[in-house]
A and B are shown apart, each in its own frame.
Chain A
Amino acid sequence: QSALTQPASVSASPGQSITISCAGSSSDIGTYKLVSWYQQHPGKVPKLIIYEASRRPSEVSTRFSASKSGNTASLTISGLQADDEADYYCSSYVGSSNWVFGGGTKLTVL
């Protein structure tokens, strides 16, 4: 299976909002709701921030939200803060008990 497609980088100023897309196909995102998002600071372990396409763990800030439409999932971060600067990865179930990640998006807070 192919990796999901994410923009290599996005940037915005503190307080602004950004959206990161995660493009898949009818075989993965388009069929299954099992999309999750991860935040990874440099040198750190990935952290789950969204699961089942739009659900947020209780310990994750409400500034993080996500959705899925057709073959594309999206992560939105509102009220950007300096600590949001990190790499973000989407992941999806692709059937046959297999999983795939996106290539990752580097978020820069200007």
Chain B
Amino acid sequence: QMYLQESGPGLVKPSEALSLTCTVSGDSITTNSYYWDWIRQPPGKGLEWIGTVYYTGTTYSSPSLQSRVTISIDTSTNQFSLKMISVTATDTAVYYCARRSAASLRQGAFDLWGQGTMVTVS
């Protein structure tokens, strides 16, 4: 059984950088079956896809955020990370890490999520 767990500061000052880590447990992050994604949800609002990383290190980010976002993977620690620079109050949200199937089974589905971590920019 695989689990995802986000970690990082819950409070970030405006104009500074937000850094979060997702720890994958129960299986190796180097499997070619999944992409590893970040998704956020501002309070009372909907979900927003931030970006993704594959075990090879290949990354993709939302066009609206890509100038401020860096996603990376550390296969030695079974973790992947999100860094967002120049944050403002509009970046206040619950940040989720999620697993997305790369295989033909459940292709494209975010089928496993972390519990989410609230990040407040203030």
Q: Report which A residues bind B (CB closer than 8 A).
A: 1, 3, 34, 36, 38, 45-48, 51-52, 55, 57, 89, 91, 93, 96-104
Contact = CB atoms under 8 A, between A and B. Distances in A.
Contacts of B60: 96-98
A91 B62 CA distance: 14
A51 B106 contact: yes
Contact of B46 (A3, A96, A97): A3
20 contacts: A3-B46, A45-B113, A45-B114, A45-B116, A46-B47, A47-B113, A51-B106, A51-B107, A51-B108, A51-B109, A52-B107, A52-B108, A57-B106, A91-B47, A97-B60, A98-B49, A98-B62, A99-B37, A100-B49, A104-B45
A93 B108 contact: yes
B111 A101 contact: no
B60 to A, nearest CB: 4
Nearest to A53: B108
Q: Looking at A52, A91, A99, which has the most chain B CB atoms within 10 Å of its CB?
A: A99
Interface in B35-94: 37, 39, 45-49, 52, 60, 62-63
B109 A52 contact: yes
Given A48-B111, A51-B107, A101 B47 contact: yes
B110 A38 contact: yes
Contacts of A52: 106-109
Contacts of B62: 1, 98
Interface residues of B, number: 24
A48 B116 contact: no
Contacts of B109: 36, 48, 51-52
Contacts of A100: 49
Contacts of B37: 99
B63 A36 contact: no
A31 to B, nearest CB: 13
B107 A101 contact: no
Contacts of A57: 106, 111
